[in-house]
């Protein structure tokens, strides 16, 4: 195990923020995870888990023992008449796993193409896009409990999934290191083209016969047309969650803003945060080295040399403005460190 000191994390976070880790180690299997936990305890440093770095905003150096998860592997562990169960290492790149599933005609994750990050982070955030969430294909995950070094298996119920939520963002936050995730994928596809612009994109691409790759290609086309490539412009994807409001509140907003979109949800009416931000005039706004993306107002960007604290302040200014204009308090998807 190679423990490095005072290492820049610039290439390990998609915002490209240049902050340092006091200690840094890369782990490739569960045994090394346990060894890394022991090393952090001996150095009396808190543990910080790093996957693809696609959902964090660093605002300071980390006086911590950073464990970079690079556990690989994609393996079918069982199957039945209708499903195949695929265990995936937490360090696998999410999109590469999606492409592997499509290649083998395993259905269920094609709508989640091109989402940045690693597989281990997917259940933590209950990632979702275009009408599909991880909880719909999740079976179990393996994790190492930091206090004991023991392996724990989490099933669907134990994960307590919600909208961009799981137990790992609340009572289990910072207590476990996810090492692998097992997905329950379908042998027979059930295509979901009703959300967003998938159907119209398929039509414009001249695709008439639906298949997993066609759905994936359409999603990739949509995402690339709206979202900046982190390799070119620093960002962490959608910075804010879509808020839900009470139906009565939504009716009042409709009176003032007749064009406001809304969709029924468990918690009331879901309002697209992108619409709120654009309506408030933030879309495309540039503040020095940072700003709000010109095509997708949900995305805050670092054009190069931007500071994490400046991006955090921008997000707070947007939240304050949206609350003042619409009475809606936006919540962040990105973890601010």
Catalytic positions, written as ranges: 164, 238, 333
138 and 123 in contact (C-beta within 8 Å)? Answer: yes
Bridge partners of residue 240, in order along the sequence: 332
């Amino acid at each position: 195990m190679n423990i490095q000191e005072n290492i820049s994390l610039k290439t390990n976070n998609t915002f490209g923020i240049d902050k340092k880790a006091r200690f840094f180690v890369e782990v490739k299997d569960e045994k090394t995870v346990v060894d890394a936990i022991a090393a952090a305890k001996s150095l009396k440093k808190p543990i910080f888990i790093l996957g693809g770095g696609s959902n964090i905003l660093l605002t300071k150096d980390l006086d911590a023992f950073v464990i970079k998860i690079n556990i690989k592997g994609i393996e079918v562990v069982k199957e039945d008449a209708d499903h195949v169960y695929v265990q995936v290492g937490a360090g696998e790149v999410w999109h590469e796993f999606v492409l592997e599933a499509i290649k083998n005609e395993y259905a269920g994750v094609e709508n989640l193409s091109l989402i940045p990050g690693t597989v281990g982070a997917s259940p933590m955030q209950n990632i979702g896009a275009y009408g599909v969430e991880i909880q719909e294909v999740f079976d179990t995950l393996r994790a190492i409990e930091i206090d004991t070094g023991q392996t724990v298996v989490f099933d669907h119920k134990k994960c307590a999934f919600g909208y961009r939520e799981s137990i790992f963002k609340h009572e289990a936050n910072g207590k476990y290191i996810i090492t692998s995730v097992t997905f329950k994928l379908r042998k027979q596809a059930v295509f979901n083209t009703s959300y967003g612009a998938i159907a119209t994109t398929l039509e414009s691409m001249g695709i008439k016969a639906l298949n997993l790759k066609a759905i994936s290609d359409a999603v990739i086309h949509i995402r690339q047309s709206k979202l900046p490539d982190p390799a070119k412009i620093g960002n962490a994807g959608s910075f804010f969650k879509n808020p839900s409001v009470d139906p009565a509140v939504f009716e009042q907003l409709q009176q003032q803003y007749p064009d406001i979109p809304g969709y029924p949800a468990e918690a009331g009416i879901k309002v697209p945060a992108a619409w709120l931000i654009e309506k408030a005039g933030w879309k495309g706004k540039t503040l020095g080295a940072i700003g709000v993306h010109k095509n997708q107002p949900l995305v805050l960007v670092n054009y190069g040399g931007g500071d994490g604290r400046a991006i955090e302040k921008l997000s707070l200014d947007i939240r304050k403005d949206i609350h003042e204009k619409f009475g809606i308090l936006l919540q962040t998807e990105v973890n601010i460190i």
